[in-house]
Amino acid sequence: MQLELAKWLTREVGEDKADRVIAFTETCNVADLDTATALSAAELCAKHKLSTADATIIYATTLAHGADLLTRDRHFKNLPGVRFVPETGA
């Protein structure tokens, strides 16, 4: 996750802000990808016709921990536990 986040942030807001966000992520809890979460992700892929494995694993992990997923990914827009943030015109 940090790889994709760092790439996107560096491109969108610059290296300094990206570094601050990545530093923040180092204070967060990191969840292991265990068998239960992997199987849940597979079920979510099929149930919601999702194709991106990494994003679905993130969604399954979010649900397993009773958290909300904050995303700009339209594939998750109307799913339970998702807070969709539309992109604003620049």
DSSP character string of 14-47: -HHHHHHHHHHHTTS------HHHHHHHHHHHHH
Are residue 17 and residue 36 in the same domain, yes or no?
no
**Host domain of residue 72:** 32-90
Are residue 26 and residue 36 in the same domain, yes or no?
no
Angle at 79 (CA atoms; ends 57, 89), nearest 5 degrees: 95
Are residue 22 and residue 44 in the same domain, yes or no?
no
Per-residue pLDDT for the chain (90 aa), expressed as one digit of tens each? 678 888 989 999 999 999 999 999 889 888 888 999 999 999 999 998 887 787 889 899 999 999 999 888 888 889 999 999 988 765
Q: What is the pLDDT of residue 54?
A: 77
Are residue 46 and residue 82 in the same domain, yes or no?
yes
Q: What is the pLDDT of residue 68?
A: 92
Phi, psi at 70, each rounded to 5°: -100, 120
Note the residue count of the chain: 90
Q: What is the pLDDT of residue 89?
A: 63
| Domain count of the fold of the chain | 2
Are residue 45 and residue 23 in the same domain, yes or no?
no
Are residue 53 and residue 84 in the same domain, yes or no?
yes
